[in-house]
């Protein structure tokens, strides 16, 4: 069966190991007995080991989820940048990626007695936090919400402590260390800092606890994070600030993961502490504005080095340029000055192999079967400083977008406009029956395609069929977010049967 697929860079598909050192800082917090390293097991959302595993998801489903999440993550990072002018003490915790953010999550327990929590791993922020009772506004989570007073080890972090003054948007004066954490997806988290015992699994499936770690207690979570629900409890911040667990437990951390398409892969790991090791060749990392930057020298396709100026990848003193490595994005994004030469080379190699059908989000689209038609396609290599190469093979470059080669749509028509059309064309019935009327559906279909033609949409972007939905997309059905953006994964699931029927009708 032919499939529509796109050129993307799927950085999670290849084995990727990453180690960084953060700045060592002195705090007035209680003494922490630091294990040399914590080796935290990571489990991807799609893995059979994940509670989110859905055997009914297709490769196209997983690709769409990854694309939506990566696009949102790119927007988050870009907005953030714009605002910036021992060996035997081996500890591990399970980690599971959050269902709707598709990020890895750390499985830990907090307090005494221990309460299990799942925290989304994030290299883009430093403060780790979990929801705590009593909550003013908390999102639904499957695990119990942590109640600090019920823990024998719970202590409020004093306002005068050094680490408190590194808390995001510290609120003062106060008897405790209050914070306000803002994320660029419109999520705002209010809470306070505490010290607590955190418990990790050891590599031999035992447990090891680390006392007096500083973590945030969130009592008011609003915005997109508040609509998630499910397994997640909060954020595991891996940034370079003093509030990060990385800074509290030493000066290093590393993470290493393999193919996210291998549903049985179980060797993804996060290591925190001075015992984090580098195996194989290494490339330098620079910390700037709270983000981790790599030095990318060039890009090659097969043996051919692309004609891209090295200045394209350089981080400037004005905080422009540079290449960020980020735990929250599946896809790799390139500036046009780098992507266009890569795209042009790919297009020239594709000539005669598969049919080019246009572009989607600047990426070329083709019709064909990846495994069959692209056998032997040359490896694309990112050449980093110190001779470190990251190879993207065929399945790392191309994403199956759909098992259909044309588009259908679910449309919420304007009530008055549709009723006016019906009156003018002697079509009777209430609004719901009009939405089911074949003539009305054809009218809307033609209207949309005419608009697309005027805006020079490509042939593969033309609609073949539409379903008219009488009820507007709403938050009650989780079809839009509180900021009125479409919740695309939920929409796809909600209208899955209708979309399948549209494809059946249009063939």
What is the set of active-site residues?
A: 122, 326
Torsion of Cα atoms, 415 then 416 then 418 then 424, to 10°: 160
CA distance 33 to 158: 20
CA distance 82 to 507: 47
Give the closest residue to 334 by CA, choosing from 14, 61, 70, 44.
Answer: 70
- Cα torsion angle, 421, 422, 424, 427, sign: positive
CA distance 287 to 274: 17
Helix/strand/coil percent split, the chain, to 5? 25, 30, 45
Where is 236: in which H helix or E strand? strand 234-237
- List Cβ neighbours of 344 (8 Å cut-off, separation of 6 or more): none
**Is-contact 138 131, C-beta < 8 A?**
yes
Give the closest residue to 141 by CA, choosing from 228, 215, 47.
Answer: 228
Give the closest residue to 139 by CA, choosing from 52, 230, 217, 215.
Answer: 230
Helices 415-424, 438-454: inter-axial angle, 10-degree rounding: 110
> Is residue 133 left, alpha or beta, with left meaning phi > 0 and alpha meaning psi from -120 to 50?
beta
**Is-contact 384 285, C-beta < 8 A?**
no
**Is-contact 419 431, C-beta < 8 A?**
yes
């Amino acid at each position: 069966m032919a499939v529509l697929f796109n050129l993307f860079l799927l950085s999670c598909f290849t084995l990727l190991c990453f180690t960084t050192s953060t700045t060592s800082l002195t705090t007035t917090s209680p003494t922490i007995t630091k294990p040399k390293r914590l080796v935290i097991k990571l489990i991807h959302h799609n893995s059979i080991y994940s509670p989110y595993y859905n055997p009914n998801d297709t490769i196209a489903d997983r690709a769409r989820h990854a694309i939506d999440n990566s696009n949102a993550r790119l927007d988050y990072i870009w907005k953030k940048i714009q605002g910036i002018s021992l060996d035997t003490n081996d500890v591990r915790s399970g980690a599971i990626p959050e269902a709707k953010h598709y990020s890895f999550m750390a499985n830990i327990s907090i307090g005494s007695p221990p309460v299990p929590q799942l925290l989304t791993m994030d290299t883009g922020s430093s403060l780790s936090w979990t929801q705590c009772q009593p909550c003013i506004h908390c999102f639904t989570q499957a695990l119990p919400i942590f109640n600090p007073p019920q823990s024998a080890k719970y202590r409020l972090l004093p306002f005068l402590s050094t680490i408190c003054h590194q808390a995001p948007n510290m609120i003062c004066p106060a008897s405790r260390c209050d914070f306000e954490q803002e994320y660029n997806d419109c999520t705002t988290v209010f809470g306070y800092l505490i010290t607590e015992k955190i418990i990790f699994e050891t590599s031999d499936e035992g447990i090891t606890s680390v006392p007096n770690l500083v973590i945030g207690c969130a009592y008011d979570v609003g915005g997109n994070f508040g609509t998630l629900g499910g397994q997640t409890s909060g954020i595991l911040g891996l940034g370079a600030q003093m509030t990060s667990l990385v800074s509290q437990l030493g000066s290093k951390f590393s993470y290493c993961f393999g193919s996210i398409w291998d549903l049985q892969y179980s060797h993804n790991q996060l290591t925190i502490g001075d015992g984090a090791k580098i195996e194989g060749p290494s490339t330098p990392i620079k910390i700037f504005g709270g983000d981790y930057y790599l030095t990318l020298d060039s890009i090659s396709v097969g043996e051919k080095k692309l004609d891209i100026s090295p200045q394209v990848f350089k981080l400037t003193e004005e905080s422009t340029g540079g290449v960020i490595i980020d735990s929250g994005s599946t896809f790799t994004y390139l500036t046009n000055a780098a992507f266009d030469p890569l795209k042009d080379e790919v297009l020239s190699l594709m000539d005669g192999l598969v049919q080019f059908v246009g572009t989607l989000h600047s990426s070329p689209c083709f019709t064909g079967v990846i495994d069959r038609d692209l056998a032997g396609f040359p490896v694309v290599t990112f050449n980093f400083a110190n001779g470190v190469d990251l190879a993207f093979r065929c399945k790392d470059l191309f994403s199956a977008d759909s098992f259909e080669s044309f588009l259908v749509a679910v449309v919420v028509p304007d009530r008055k406009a549709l009723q006016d059309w019906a009156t003018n064309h002697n079509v009777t019935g209430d609004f719901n029956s009009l939405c089911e009327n074949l003539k009305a559906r054809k009218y809307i279909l033609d209207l949309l395609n005419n608009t697309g033609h005027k805006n020079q949409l490509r042939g593969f972007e033309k609609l073949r069929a539409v379903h008219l939905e009488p009820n507007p997309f709403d938050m009650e059905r989780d079809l839009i977010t509180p900021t009125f953006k479409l919740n695309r994964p939920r929409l796809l699931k909600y209208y899955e049967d209708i979309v399948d029927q549209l494809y059946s009708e249009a063939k």
